[in-house]
Structure 1
Amino acid sequence: MRLPLHTLRPAVMLFALALLSACASGPRNNISLIPGDQVAAQTSKEGLFTQPVKWEHKKPGCKGECPTIKLDSIVFPGNKKLTELVDHALATMTGISTKGVQPYDSVAGYQDYFWKTAAPRDSTLLSAKTRYRNKNLTVVELNTWQYLTGAAHGISATQFLNWDNDHHIVLALEQILQPGKLPDYVAALKAAHQKWLAGNADARHDPQTYNRLWPFQASENFAFTDQGLVIKYDTYQIAPYYFGQPELLLPYSELRDILQPQYLPAQG
């Protein structure tokens, strides 16, 4: 069972092929992805080796105000598949100004397209970083920010990739949940959202209006951390623009009967 498409973030659909390949292999049942002695830390330093790749380019031959692209990403030496997936995902997350399928599938292809179509003040930032790592799992956080000439502000988007280091696949939500537990996951997420609203001054001031304008949305955009699953939302999804990109935390203690046992912290 999957969440209805209208509840999903648009960026999730960009990884449909990756998720389908992930579903081809079942979850492991003989290890824990989250070492029990690391739960107190926010980020583990173990995992796949990474190297940074950074550059900032201005449209060739342009004088004065010029379109720009900045890349602050990572590559995985020895892991071509994940390196190419990160590159492809960042490129396809830029499709805010096109209709249908983008005419590019890589950052290099996007750059060529951008120089041909960008207005003078258009700007794009593409970034990728590891959010969590251990020997079995590498979580990559992908971020894009785009400013279109004349707009009031830029548009941002975030997507997580939960990469199984051994099987070389992206883990889909249905793989990490116990059978039939999707409704329980959504309920736990909704409860976390209610806690988040309790600390939101705007929501407390006029809850009826706030819930009408910014209703709860379920999401499959999850990331493993030492503390639990983090669910991250884009701007405008569950809050006004000035709230940025809200994150909701589902602690592992609340997921004992929801997650597959091998994706819970090891018990010492």
Structure 2
Amino acid sequence: MKYTLSILLVTLIFIGCKEDKNLIFETSSFDNERCSNCATVTISVPKAMGNKKLDEVINNALREEVIFILKYDDEVNANSIDSAIQSFQNEYSKLREKFPEESTLWEASINGAVTYENDRILTIQLDYYLFTGGAHGYGSTRFLNFDKTKATELGNEELFKDIVDFQGFAEAKFREQENIPTSQAINSTGFMFEGDEFYLPENIGFTNDGLQLFYEQYEVASYADGPIILNLPFEEIQRYLIPLSL
């Protein structure tokens, strides 16, 4: 009986240690004042909880990304999400003052979620939508990747052992998905890669199914085509990636 209890205790400790490697998040929500002349802003992003350096790195990166998406008024020194919301509102107010008959309300929504986490890598996806007048709004996705062991944010080139080698593989998969013959230029079917040369998107992130390459609207195709997304399963790309676990 004592032997059985000892095994159980060791097992629970082992499981607990493994679970401790996952970060703890809470949801941080932000919005602005509701009024007839106010833009509509809703933000919901994860916040890493704790006093570790990694938590600070993650939260700072998320804050800077949200500020970058929202900031419209260069005269405002936006150093927080609240001040970025105010920047967005200020620009809308200037428009209303200049064109009082303008009835279209500006809108911004940003939602973030953890899409991948193991003992080394963390990926957070931000989906956002902006409407600032005109025929249509603009929505997109941004990925933030982190090395938990080093407490650093990862650039795209740091996700791969050799990014040039991976790019060649990604181009082959892109051509296969989009039915672009290997004998023809990458833009031969209507894409708009600059210089008619394939390149990786700015937004690359991990999901539980693998790696996602996210080309924003206008990045390589027309607005009508929407975002172009290439999902690559882990089993196909493992040899190109940095070690994802310890």
- Normalised to the residue count of structure 2, the TM-score between the two structures is 0.70
Counterpart Cα distance in 2 of 1:166 and 1:209: 43
Query: SS in structure 2 opposite 1:53?
Result: strand
Name the larger-Rg structure: 2
1:159 aligned residue (142, 152, 173)? 142
Matched, 1:134 2:118: yes
Matched, 1:248 2:210: no
1:1-268 matched pairs, under 5 angstroms = 47-58=22-33, 62-63=35-36, 66-78=38-50, 79-95=55-71, 103-118=77-92, 119=95, 121-149=105-133, 151-178=134-161, 181-198=162-179, 208=188, 210-211=190-191, 216-260=198-242, 262-263=243-244
Change in 2 beyond 3 A, CA 1:222/1:213: closer
**Do 2:70 and 2:87's aligned partners in 1 also have CA atoms closer than 8 Å?**
no
Larger fraction in strand: 2
Partner AA of 1:198 in structure 2 = N
> Could you say what the CA RMSD is over the residues aligned between the two structures, in angstroms?
3.0
Unaligned runs of 5+ in 2: 1-20, 97-104, 181-186
User: How far apart are residue 250 of structure 1 and its match?
Assistant: 2.6
Which residue is 1:39 aligned to?
none
Greater RCO between the two (CA within 8 Å, min separation 6)? Answer: 1
Query: SS in structure 2 opposite 1:170?
Result: strand
Query: SS in structure 1 opposite 2:176?
Result: helix
Unaligned runs of 5+ in 1: 1-45, 200-206
Counterpart Cα distance in 1 of 2:39 and 2:78: 18
User: How far apart are residue 49 of structure 1 and its match?
Assistant: 1.4
Number of residue pairs matched? 204
